[in-house]
Each structure stands twice: as structure tokens, then as C-alpha cells.
Structure 1
């Protein structure tokens, strides 16, 4: 029996998977994000789909898993988000929020698909790990990365014309300043969650009073605490 091909729609010249779950994820993200953040997550999905269409490594990727991961990847990057906790990196808070969403909206999904979404979101800023994970996880990271660097994406995969077509549909809306403010706020309001992430570079450069304890000091303190147990 031939497999049923998923329904798709074309957006800015890119074929996107079109399922009730993907549309529910879009609606959920739209309710959470401001225009700048929503356009970013939407573009990240589109660029990921474009990359998948051009690289054989992603020929068998689960496009619905990728779509949900990309669309929900920043649910907690605003420190004021209802999904934000004081003690977890925003990537982990976002992954947990996406897992809750799937529990409601995709009760028939198996544990592997749920874990792929969690991993894709939790690792989306950690290139040194994400790019070596399952294709869905790597693709989510690459699509997000592509939204930051556009046609400079390696291999000439994203042309200037393709990038411009997506930006025309989903404007950047002062994306650079918006991201800066979001990451600086994380460094101001939950700094302990940023010390081992790329956000710390924003704290070091732009946030007065932000200090990152040395990794050696943290390890030695942890060893001292363990020795007292």
C-alpha cells in the first residue's frame, strides 16, 4: 500500500507541511508572541523547510516534528512568559512548554516524537550538540540559525532572492534590537540560567553589573559541597 503524502502549502516559494497540529502550533505561538518574535519563529520554520528540500541528509525527516519544534522553540525566551521559570534556561522552559502542548494537542504521538521536539527546542542554541543529533533536531537548529545569517548560510543553500521572499512575507521588525533586549532581560532577571549559554555574551557586553563566575570556581564549589555530604 502506498504511503499517504502529507498535505502541503506554498509559502514564499517554500513547500510547508500543512496539518491540524502544525496549525494549532501556529495559533498557540501567535497567542503567546509579539509580532517580532512570531515572525522569527515562523521564518525559522520556513528556512528549515527550505534547507530540508535541498539537502539529502533531511530527505526522510519528519516534517511535522520539525515544524512543531521550530514554531514553539521560543515560548519562554521572554523572561515574563508564563512558561518561564526562575531556575531553568529559557530553552528548557520552552521545551517543557512544548511538551505540555503536545500532551493536549497530540495525544496519539509516540514518546520518540515528543522527545525529538523536546530535544530540538532544548538544544536549538547549542550548535555543537544539535547538529550531531537526529535530523529533526539538527534541522530545527539550522533553520533558526539561518534566520540570523540569511544568505550567509553555508553552501549557498539560501539565496538572496529566497531570503528576501521570506522577509517580505514575515518582516524582521527591528529583529536585532528585539533579540538583544530579550537576551539582556534574561541576564538581568534570571542571570544564573545564562552563565553556560550564548546569552551570557549579551550580559557581559550590555548589562551593568552582570558577572559570570569562572567555570573552575563553579566546579570546585560543587566538589566542595559534595565532599561535605
Structure 2
């Protein structure tokens, strides 16, 4: 097992876009080794707009956890919240473009490929569930406290009306000023859909984006509107 203090170097060696001395880790990233390693891995693999979205999700989730006095606002468990946030869209990048749903690929990347040696099985499972279900409304909010925080933070960032009562206009403005949106709706929607459209086999395509899922609905919309180049109509 690789010692935790080497995890940052080990993860960075596999990054598509490794961090250099000129790249600064944002002050909002927790200072523990696993969080720093997670950020470096996200920086090296996620589209910049998706990375910024993941950091906004982290800040919204952290603020909500603090207001609600959640266990995930404590030093003992905050790294789990951060890693769930920073990995929640990891399945959208080429490094984790596998045969499973993008949410599951991201959940596996965070737990089996990253957290498993260093946290308890139950903690890793909580992170897996939070990532895997973050596009599942009505389930994520109730299955676990961590999944609820991630789900609410995600839909805050996408300005879903049901979530805006958990934040404030001032908080949204401050977080977006720190990490600008960068056409996240188009970038993320295209990344998820393009993974599926790149699969030649119909059965494999259906497994990657089942019809009733968020990805599946967006794929259906893209196929119905192939000339549309704006934000996916089903985003």
C-alpha cells in the first residue's frame, strides 16, 4: 500500500494535465493529503469548466454542511465531502470513460481507485453512493446525509428552483466570482453525451446511458436535434 503522503505524487503521475509550479491550489481546498491529491487529480483530468463547477459544488456543500452543523463540516469528515464533490463528475473525462454510467465511473474512481486504502469501507461506500446517485432526484436527498449534501449543492449550481432556499443570492455571487461558470451546462452536457455517441454498439450505448437516466435523456435529445449546438435541450 502506498503511504498517504505519496498519494499526491502517485495520482499526479497519471494526470493528463499535471500541475506545475505555476499552478496554484485554491485556498478553499482542504489541506489534508488526500484532498490535495484529489484536487491535483481533478485538475489534471477534468475540463476547466467542470473543475470550476466541482469547486463551486464543494463550496455550496461545505456552506450548507456548516449551516446545518453536519458531521461533514468537521475536520474529521470534511475530506470525504470534498472528495465526493471534486470527483462527482470525474466520469465525464476521458480517463474514466468506461462502459458504465458516467456517475458510476466517477464513483468507482473516487473509491476503488483512490480512497479505498485510506478510509474505512463504510466511509468509502458513503462517498460512492453520493457520487453515483448525484443525478437521481428524490433518492440522493434521502439515502444518506453525504449524498443529500452533494445533490443539493449540484442543483444549487445549476440554479434549480427547489434548491435555492438552501443558499442566498450573495453566496452564489461570491462563489461564482471565485470560480466563474465557464459555460458549464454546455461543456458538461456535451462531455456526457459525446461519450455515449462515441460508442458504436447499441447495447453498450444503452448500458452507458439507460433511457430514463439524465445522460440517456440528453442523448435522446441530441439525436432528435443533431444540428443543435447550444446547451443540450434536455440538460
Q: If the TM-score is normalised by the length of the shorter chain, which range does it land in? A: 0.7 to 0.9
CA distance in 1: counterparts of 2:37 and 2:153, whole angstroms: 20
* Bigger relative contact order, structure 1 or 2 (CA pairs below 8 A, ≥6 apart): 1
* 1:95 and 2:107 are equivalent in the alignment: yes
User: Paired residue for 2:125?
Assistant: 115
How far off is 1:20 after superposition?
2.0
Superimposed CA distance per residue, residues 147-180 of structure 1 (whole angstroms, 9 cap, x where no aligned partner):
1117x45463311111011111101111122123
Superimposed CA distance per residue, residues 168-195 of structure 1 (whole angstroms, 9 cap, x where no aligned partner):
1101111122123123213413431212
Tell me if structure 2 keeps the 8 A contact 1:22–1:64.
Answer: yes
User: Paired residue for 1:31?
Assistant: 44
Which runs of at least 4 in structure 1 moved beyond 3 Å after TM superposition?
Answer: 152-155
CA distance in 2: counterparts of 1:175 and 1:155, whole angstroms: 18
User: Paired residue for 1:174?
Assistant: 183
CA distance in 1: counterparts of 2:225 and 2:165, whole angstroms: 41
User: Paired residue for 1:41?
Assistant: 54
How far off is 1:54 after superposition?
2.0
Note closer, same or farther for the CA distance 1:90–1:101 as it changes in structure 2 (3 Å cut). Answer: same
Note closer, same or farther for the CA distance 1:34–1:68 as it changes in structure 2 (3 Å cut). Answer: same
How far off is 1:136 after superposition?
1.2
CA distance in 1: counterparts of 2:31 and 2:124, whole angstroms: 19
What RMSD, in angstroms, separates the aligned Cα atoms of the two structures? 2.3
User: Gaps (5+ residues) in structure 2?
Assistant: 1-25, 200-204, 227-235
Query: Which is worse superposed, 122-131 or 193-202?
Result: 193-202
Superimposed CA distance per residue, residues 190-221 of structure 1 (whole angstroms, 9 cap, x where no aligned partner):
431212311222222222499xxxxxxxxxxx
Query: How high is the TM-score relative to the length of structure 1?
Result: 0.74
Query: How high is the TM-score relative to the length of structure 2?
Result: 0.72
How far off is 1:146 after superposition?
1.3
Q: Computing the radius of gyration over CA atoms, which structure comes out larger, 1 or 2? A: 1
Note closer, same or farther for the CA distance 1:122–1:161 as it changes in structure 2 (3 Å cut). Answer: same
Tell me if structure 1 keeps the 8 A contact 2:102–2:192.
Answer: no
User: Paired residue for 2:198?
Assistant: 189
